[in-house]
């Protein structure tokens, strides 16, 4: 158990000593006698940060302007008396019924013009001035009351902004969209040019004629759609800023909101959001609709570290076991919660928190897992929670240590928006799937990867992987070209470099922005059916995509041996400046992709690689005095590994030739090698 009143001071800036172990708590759902039990059990579990008031609005302000903070005062005092820090929600994430009754105009509309009603959550239009006025009034009242409260360690603005309401198509949003477009393009002719409105009689004479991309009979203008995604992300970021500003006017406590770097939500361009956060925080849930959910977890964690600029970040939510919102909600296997939590820590999290403390009895989340399940403390989940809490406390020395890599993977929300639009060569090509495949290929070769934004400084890297970067600006593409010219190595895959930031095709051959660096020119795309497999020289198989590609300086390292392009180049390698660019014109089978990435990494001299067996993840965090090697075993077999040192999980020494238990995790402390 963490001693009550443990002093608080960590690199996250939350004042916690060591790592954060926390949860969401919704005391408004429980009688006050339960609060005391809860806080006692929180101490038993080692919880040191609790998010409250995330959905508090109707409780605090049950009628317009009628604020009741007594319960919040009481719970904050109770947590503080028990040495538990508070992650204080501004409470604005869901409007109370009185507000939507008084002002139904704040309700959001979807693309067919129909309204989405209260009764769920987040039923508000991101552009609504009326919503903003009331939400900011609540945020201000809350900030004034608790802005100097020593128990409050972090401000939690709203909740998962854009989870449900990112895209609103109402008239208020339409006006805001026009304002955003005017600021971006200044002249209507510049917009007409960017959107290609000469096509299908879409030319605009006046700003007032422009609408959000509401449902149409046919395909919609792709540039309009793309700008609407940009606008919608900016609009919620602007909303975040407004709340943060109100808080910062009266409080010096760090401010954040929880991101959703996840496969099923793509509406926020977090590269633009991250610089506005005092602490980068992410929510992640295993998605069993994906092939191997824990690999997507690793991607999300690495991407969050990228958003945090390599600094420690906070996992604000994950689950102890099943969620309630997938078609089948799988309970976690014994040890899985520990592996999930420690994978986030391995990849740079200085804290792991959960949704939620006590499983609800009512409402749509009553079958969502919690730290304290319906079955109470005599449960596997609870025992594992207590074990994890105690381990997180023992891992305090990791706080502030960092993950280093000399391999970067370029990931872009804008490219995701653009790539997944309709009317492309293949509707089977999905951006995130290709990003995940490239990432998984790197995992398979034991690489630790930094996820970076297009245009990011690549000077510290030896290898950059660029999966399907369909949309890229000239300037951002140039960064990759310059990196290769200066001696870096790149692996670029099909359908990259095709369009500029307006979704306009670069004239000439494909892959547009990358044809010089790759030393190739593609004449035409030959997408393949999902079920179709083609063979390449060298033994690889491939699918999904192929290209009629000509060598313009590059060499072919593999050619098609069957399919429509038999004999043509499929994989190429080009020496450019003092570096090398490889191009994959087709989707290689996973093993061949991993081999190609291994060749590139080895030729690049990349060092952030570890020897791995299948199903084992190795990640290293570096502190000032020690390195910490995380060995995470996703298999059900005891597996040998080459690392030795003191294991912080078992508190035992691991001699050379050691093994990691089935499903187990080791965190092996090693004295840093003198550099
Ligand atoms: C998140 C949300 C939480 C809870 C959780 C359930 O999206 O922030 O409030 O709903 O999902 O998995």
- For 490, the enclosing helix (H) or strand (E) is strand 489-493
Domain 616-674 bears CATH identifier 2.10.60.10? no
Of all protein residues, whose CA lies closest to atom 12 belonging to ligand 1?
323
Q: Which atom of ligand 1 is nearest to the CA of 260?
A: 7
Q: Which fold has domain 407-604?
A: Rossmann fold (3.40.50)
Of all protein residues, whose CA lies closest to atom 5 belonging to ligand 1?
355
Dihedral sign from CA coordinates of 509, 515, 516, 520: negative
Alpha-carbon distance of 57 to 136, in angstroms, equals 12
Q: Which atom of ligand 1 is nearest to the CA of 323?
A: 12
Kindly state the DSSP code that residue 504 receives in the 8-state scheme: P
E-state strands within 234-348:
255-256, 258-259, 281-283, 313-317
Of 141, 154, 158, which is closest to residue 79 (Cα–Cα)? Answer: 154
Of all protein residues, whose CA lies closest to atom 7 belonging to ligand 1?
160
Alpha-carbon distance of 479 to 455, in angstroms, equals 6
3-state secondary structure 514-572: HHHHHCEEEEEECCCCCCCCEEECCCCEEECCCEEEEECCCEEEEEECCCCCCCCEEEE
Strand partners for 521: 550
CA of 355 to the centre of ligand 1 (A): 7
Print burial letters for 37-58: b (CB count within 10 Å at least 16), e (below 16): ebbebbbbbbbbbbbbbbbbbb
Dihedral sign from CA coordinates of 331, 337, 343, 348: positive
Of all protein residues, whose CA lies closest to atom 4 belonging to ligand 1?
355
What secondary structure does DSSP assign to 565-613, as a single string?
Answer: TTTSEEEEEEEETTEEEEEE-SEE-HHHHHHHHHHHHHHHT---B----
Of all protein residues, whose CA lies closest to atom 2 belonging to ligand 1?
160
Mutation choice for ligand 1 from 56, 316, 317, 319, CB with most ligand atoms inside 8 A: 317
CA of 101 to the centre of ligand 1 (A): 25
Of all protein residues, whose CA lies closest to atom 11 belonging to ligand 1?
355
The pLDDT value recorded for residue 612 is 81
What are the catalytic residues?
A: 160, 317
CA of 282 to the centre of ligand 1 (A): 12
Mutation choice for ligand 1 from 93, 163, 355, CB with most ligand atoms inside 8 A: 355
Alpha-carbon distance of 613 to 658, in angstroms, equals 13
Q: Which atom of ligand 1 is nearest to the CA of 160?
A: 8
pLDDT along the chain (675 residues), means of 10: 38 81 98 97 98 98 96 98 98 98 98 98 98 98 98 98 98 98 98 98 98 97 98 98 98 98 96 97 96 95 98 97 97 98 98 98 98 98 98 96 97 98 97 98 97 98 98 98 98 98 98 98 97 97 98 98 97 98 98 98 95 92 96 97 97 94 98 70
Alpha-carbon distance of 558 to 635, in angstroms, equals 33
CA of 613 to the centre of ligand 1 (A): 34
The pLDDT value recorded for residue 10 is 55
Ligand 1 contacts (CB < 6 A) are 159-160, 163, 283, 285, 317, 323, 355, 365, 368
The pLDDT value recorded for residue 8 is 35
Token pair, residue 150, equals: 């020593």
Q: Which atom of ligand 1 is nearest to the CA of 258?
A: 8
In angstroms, what CA-CA distances link 467 with 359, 366, 453, 589? Answer: 40, 40, 12, 15
Alpha-carbon distance of 588 to 595, in angstroms, equals 10
CA of 222 to the centre of ligand 1 (A): 31
CA of 330 to the centre of ligand 1 (A): 16
- What residue ranges do the domains of the chain occupy? 407-604, 616-674
The pLDDT value recorded for residue 6 is 37
The pLDDT value recorded for residue 674 is 55
The pLDDT value recorded for residue 3 is 35
CA of 356 to the centre of ligand 1 (A): 9
pTM of full prediction above 0.85: yes
Q: Do 59 and 24 meet the contact criterion of CB atoms below 8 Å apart?
A: no
The pLDDT value recorded for residue 15 is 75
Q: Which atom of ligand 1 is nearest to the CA of 163?
A: 7
DSSP-H helix ranges across 115-165: 129-146
């Amino acid at each position: 158990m963490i001693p009550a009143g443990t002093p608080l001071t960590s690199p996250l800036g939350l004042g916690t000593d060591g790592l954060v172990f926390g949860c969401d708590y919704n005391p408004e759902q429980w009688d006050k006698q339960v609060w005391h039990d809860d806080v006692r059990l929180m101490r038993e579990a080692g919880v040191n940060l609790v998010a409250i008031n995330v959905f508090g609005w109707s409780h605090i302000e049950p009628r317009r302007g009628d604020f009741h903070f007594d319960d919040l005062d009481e719970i904050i005092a109770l947590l503080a008396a028990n040495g538990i820090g508070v992650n204080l929600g501004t409470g604005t994430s869901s409007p109370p019924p009185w507000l939507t009754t008084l002002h139904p105009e704040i309700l959001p509309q979807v693309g067919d013009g129909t309204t989405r009603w209260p009764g769920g959550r987040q039923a508000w239009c991101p552009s609504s001035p009326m919503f903003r006025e009331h939400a900011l009034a609540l945020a201000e009242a809350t900030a004034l009351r608790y802005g100097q409260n020593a128990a409050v360690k972090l401000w939690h603005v709203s909740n998962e902004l854009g989870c449900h309401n990112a895209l609103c198509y109402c008239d208020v949003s339409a006006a805001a969209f026009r304002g955003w477009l005017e600021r971006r393009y200044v002249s209507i002719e510049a917009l007409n040019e960017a959107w290609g409105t000469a096509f299908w009689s879409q030319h605009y004479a006046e700003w007032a004629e422009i609408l959000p991309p509401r449902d149409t009979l046919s395909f919609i203008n792709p540039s309009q759609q793309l700008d609407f995604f940009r606008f919608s992300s900016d609009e919620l970021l602007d909303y975040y800023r407004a709340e943060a500003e109100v808080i910062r006017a009266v409080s010096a406590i760090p401010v954040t909101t929880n991101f959703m770097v996840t496969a099923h939500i793509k509406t926020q361009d977090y590269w633009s959001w991250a610089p506005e956060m005092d602490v980068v925080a992410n929510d992640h849930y295993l998605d069993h609709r994906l092939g191997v959910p824990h690999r997507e977890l690793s991607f999300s964690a690495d991407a969050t570290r990228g958003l945090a600029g390599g600094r420690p970040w906070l996992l604000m939510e994950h689950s102890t076991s099943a969620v309630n919102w997938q078609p089948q909600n799988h309970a976690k296997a014994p040890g899985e919660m520990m592996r999930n939590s420690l994978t986030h820590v391995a990849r740079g999290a200085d804290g792991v928190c959960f949704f939620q403390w006590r499983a609800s009895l009512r409402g749509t989340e009553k079958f969502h897992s919690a730290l304290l399940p319906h079955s109470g403390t005599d449960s596997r989940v609870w025992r594992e929670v207590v074990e994890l809490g105690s381990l997180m406390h023992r891992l305090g020395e990791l706080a502030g240590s960092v993950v280093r890599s000399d391999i970067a993977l370029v990931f872009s929300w804008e490219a995701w928006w653009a790539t997944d639009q309709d009317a492309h060569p293949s509707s089977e090509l999905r951006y995130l799937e290709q990003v995940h495949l490239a990432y998984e290929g790197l995992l398979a070769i034991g690489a630790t990867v930094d996820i970076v934004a297009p245009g990011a400084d690549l000077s510290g890297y030896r290898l950059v992987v660029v999966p399907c970067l369909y949309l890229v600006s000239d300037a951002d593409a140039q960064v990759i070209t310059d990196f290769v010219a200066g001696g870096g190595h790149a692996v670029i895959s099909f359908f990259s470099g095709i369009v500029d930031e307006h979704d306009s095709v670069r004239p000439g051959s494909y892959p547009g922005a990358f044809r010089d660096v790759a030393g190739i020119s593609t004449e035409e795309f030959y997408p393949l059916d999902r079920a179709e497999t083609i063979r390449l020289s060298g033994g690889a198989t491939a699918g999904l995509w192929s290209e009629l590609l000509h060598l313009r300086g590059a060499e072919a390292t593999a050619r098609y041996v069957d399919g429509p392009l038999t004999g043509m180049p499929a994989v190429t390698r080009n020496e450019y400046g003092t570096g090398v660019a490889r191009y994959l014109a087709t989707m290689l089978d996973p093993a061949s992709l991993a081999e190609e990435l291994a060749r590139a990494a080895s030729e690049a001299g990349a060092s952030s690689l570890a020897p791995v067996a299948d199903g084992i993840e190795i990640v290293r965090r570096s502190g000032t005095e020690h390195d910490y090697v995380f060995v995470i075993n996703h298999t059900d077999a005891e597996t040998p590994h080459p690392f030795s040192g003191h294991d912080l999980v078992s508190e035992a020494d691991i001699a050379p030739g050691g093994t990691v238990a089935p499903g187990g995790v080791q965190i092996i402390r090693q004295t840093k090698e003198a550099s």
